[in-house]
Amino acid sequence: MTHLIVAGTDTGIGKTVFSAGLVGALNGTYWKPVQSGIEGETDSQIVQRLSGRPALPEGYIFDLPASPHLSAEAEGATIDPSTLTLPDCDGPVVIEGAGGLMVPLNRESLYLDLFARWQVPVVLCARTQLGTINHTLMSLQALRQAGCQPVGVAFIGEAEPDVEQTIVDFGQVTRLGRLPALPSLTPDTLRQAFKDTIDMHPIHEALAR
């Protein structure tokens, strides 16, 4: 049984698509602990469609597209992090967070607190747009201060070699590659793009420890 967290520096950066590619590459299973916002497909449904791999039921699922604590409160609920335990599943499990690391689960706990309790490898997804240096370096710092060791950074978007190298140098982190925006996003195009652009060796090494 192996687990891997896919976290992001922000919301809407493409970590669900990245998670789908990773689940497919690992021949694994996907889990979204908290789904906050249902607009068409859930993240689990997107990953299943793009990867052809199974997804476990969400721990919590809410209609409102907002921070998990606000989505829960809108329905008169409260997220109890103690109920979110690592799933017992054959093979690798890719766990996708919601938004950035400092997103609240309730009025007392952040997603980062959950990651710190789990103590499993973290892949940090970062967009290549303006502002990513600050967001990514702060996210790396937060992970390490919480006792979480990032496997590396996976960039998403158009190529920005100088920006990406700046993050690698200042963050002292492994560059896992860059997944480009795909004009046609299908299971086949994602599978090929992931194979061509993402270095899986550090991820396999982290899962083998």
Q: Is the dihedral of CA 110, 73, 30, 125 positive or negative?
A: negative
Tokens coding 49: 């469609």
- Residue 32 annotated to the active site: yes
Q: What angle do CA 179, 183, 184 make, to 5 degrees?
A: 100
Contact 8, 98 (CB under 8 A): no
**What are the phi and psi torsion angles at 16 (to 5°)?**
-70, -40
Among 3, 32, 69, 178, the one annotated catalytic: 32
Burial class (CB in 10 A: 0-12, 13-18, 19+), 64: middle
Tokens coding 163: 């920006």
Catalytically active residues are: 32
